[in-house]
């Protein structure tokens, strides 16, 4: 029999399962839930910036494609404003703490922009301290998660 003072706790597995479900729902539903009078997504601004980064990065890639193979000052002058726009969005993403898995996935996308879409290779960071290797490993794991959630 449970006493009146029994405290219920949630296991890590339950929290992770709920976070995974929330991230799948949260990626597609924040705009709809806000308009339906439901609570505001904790990472709404990061999600908005994530969409802004996708648009800016697409424009940046198009600018680079238009000047591909052209290594001139004029080509740089043409592409630099597109790179700067993406960079500005990434700086904003960097400054906002992520409160959900959705927000972390936006930050991972910003890391991918910094790395031109590439993951961290183990050879790149095997010489680093354990904590730095773990941070890189987490970033790679989140990049993999993003593929399955987004």
pLDDT at position 36 is 59
Residue 142: what are its φ and ψ, rounded to 5°? -65, -35
Query: Does 19 reside within a domain?
Result: no
Q: State how many domains the chain has.
A: 1
Q: Which tokens hold the place of 42?
A: 């904790």
pLDDT of 92 strictly over 70: yes
Q: Give the closest residue to 54 by CA, choosing from 89, 101, 97.
A: 89
Structural domain span for residue 138: 42-149
pLDDT of 52 strictly over 80: yes
For residue 75, count other CB atoms closer than 10 A to its CB. Answer: 16
pLDDT at position 149 is 57
pLDDT at position 141 is 85
pLDDT interval class at 41 (50, 70, 90): very high
Query: Does 31 reside within a domain?
Result: no
The Cα 112–Cα 126 span in angstroms is 19
DSSP symbol at 72: S
Which range is least confidently modeled, 8-17, 77-86, 119-128?
8-17
pLDDT of 58 strictly over 80: yes
Query: Does 89 reside within a domain?
Result: yes
pLDDT at position 43 is 96
pLDDT at position 30 is 44
Residue with tokens 């998660």: 145
pLDDT of 37 strictly over 60: yes
pLDDT interval class at 144 (50, 70, 90): confident
Query: Does 143 reside within a domain?
Result: yes
């Amino acid at each position: 029999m449970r006493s009146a003072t029994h405290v219920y706790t949630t296991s890590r597995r339950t929290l992770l399962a709920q976070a995974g479900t929330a991230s799948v729902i949260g990626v597609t539903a924040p705009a709809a839930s806000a308009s339906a009078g439901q609570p505001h997504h904790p990472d709404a601004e990061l999600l908005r910036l994530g969409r802004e980064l996708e648009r800016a990065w697409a424009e940046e890639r198009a600018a680079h494609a238009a000047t591909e193979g052209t290594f001139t000052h004029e080509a740089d002058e043409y592409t630099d404003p597109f790179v700067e726009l993406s960079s500005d969005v990434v700086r904003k993403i960097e400054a906002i703490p992520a409160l959900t898995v959705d927000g972390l996935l936006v930050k991972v996308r910003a890391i991918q922009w910094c790395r031109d879409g590439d993951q961290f290779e183990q050879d790149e960071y095997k010489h680093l301290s354990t904590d730095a290797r773990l941070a890189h490993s987490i970033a790679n794991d989140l990049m993999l998660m993003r593929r399955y959630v987004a």
